[in-house]
């Protein structure tokens, strides 16, 4: 009986010891788990930081690129504006361009409606002259290299004409 009781006592002591041991063990384990969790949290936090840095860098890059694009667009708008204005000016010039017939109205008083007259009793009759001959005479009057006694008068007339005007009026006269 005595032996049995001792054995029983021993059994209780042993089980207490084992449970202490087990308790100790599980405490150690939960510490380990905690440490692991802490480490994971640290890793995640580091990654978040990296992502934030990268995001910032990307944002900066996007902003810089947007600024470049904005500048390019502004420049192109400026170019298009200038081109549009030039085109408008061209269209206006074409619309306002005098025809050969319009220009000849100022010549007809001296040279006749059909260019058939001897202007002021001095000029040659220019009816029947071809375009090139008329243009050459007008250019000559303009730069002083052509003409007779009354060339100064015709210099005044020819100087008002651009090269284009001369061509137009010459073409008109050549067909009268």
What is the three-class DSSP state of 1? coil
Contact region with ligand HEC (CB under 6 A), list: 21-29, 46-54, 82-90, 103-111: 103-111
Whole-angstrom Cα distance, residue 40 to residue 60?
Answer: 30
Cα dihedral value 76, 79, 85, 87, nearest 10: -100
Please name which of 170, 159, 175 lies closest in space to residue 103, comparing C-alpha atoms.
170
Whole-angstrom Cα distance, residue 152 to residue 26?
Answer: 123
Residue 145 found at the interface with ligand HEC (CB under 6 A): no
Residue 135 found at the interface with ligand HEC (CB under 6 A): no
- Residue count of the chain, please give it: 176
Q: How far is the CB of 130 from ligand HEC (least distance, A)?
A: 11
| Binding residue (CB under 6 A) for ligand HEC from 100, 142, 168, 169 | 169
Q: In which region does residue 115 sit, left (phi positive, over 0), alpha (psi from -120 to 50) or beta (all else)?
A: left
| Sign of the dihedral through C-alpha 6, 8, 11, 16 | negative
Residue at token pair 């969790």: 37
Site string for ligand HEC, 55-94 (x = CB under 6 A): ----------------------------------------
| Binding residue (CB under 6 A) for ligand HEC from 12, 96, 149, 175 | 149
Contact region with ligand HEC (CB under 6 A), list: 12-20, 53-61, 82-90, 131-139: 131-139
Q: Nearer to ligand HEC by C-beta: 95 or 149?
A: 149
Residues lying near ligand HEC in the complex (CB under 6 A) are found at 103, 106-107, 109-111, 119-120, 122-124, 126, 134, 137-138, 147-151, 153-154, 157, 169
């Amino acid at each position: 009986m005595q032996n049995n009781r001792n054995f029983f006592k021993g059994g209780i002591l042993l089980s207490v010891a084992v449970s202490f041991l087990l308790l100790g063990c599980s405490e150690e384990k939960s510490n380990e788990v905690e440490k692991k969790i802490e480490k994971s949290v640290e890793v995640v936090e580091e990654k978040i930081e990296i992502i934030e840095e990268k995001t910032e860098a990307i944002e900066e890059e996007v902003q810089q690129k947007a600024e470049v694009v904005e500048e390019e667009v502004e420049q192109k708008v400026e170019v298009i504006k200038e081109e549009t204005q030039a085109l408008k000016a061209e269209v206006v010039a074409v619309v306002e361009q005098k025809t050969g017939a319009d220009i000849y109205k100022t010549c007809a008083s001296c040279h006749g409606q059909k260019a058939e007259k001897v202007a002021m009793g001095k000029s040659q009759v220019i009816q029947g002259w071809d375009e090139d001959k008329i243009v050459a005479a007008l250019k000559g009057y303009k730069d002083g290299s052509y003409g007779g006694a009354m060339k100064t008068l015709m210099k005044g007339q020819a100087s008002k004409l651009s090269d284009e005007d001369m061509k137009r009026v010459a073409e008109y006269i050549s067909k009268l």
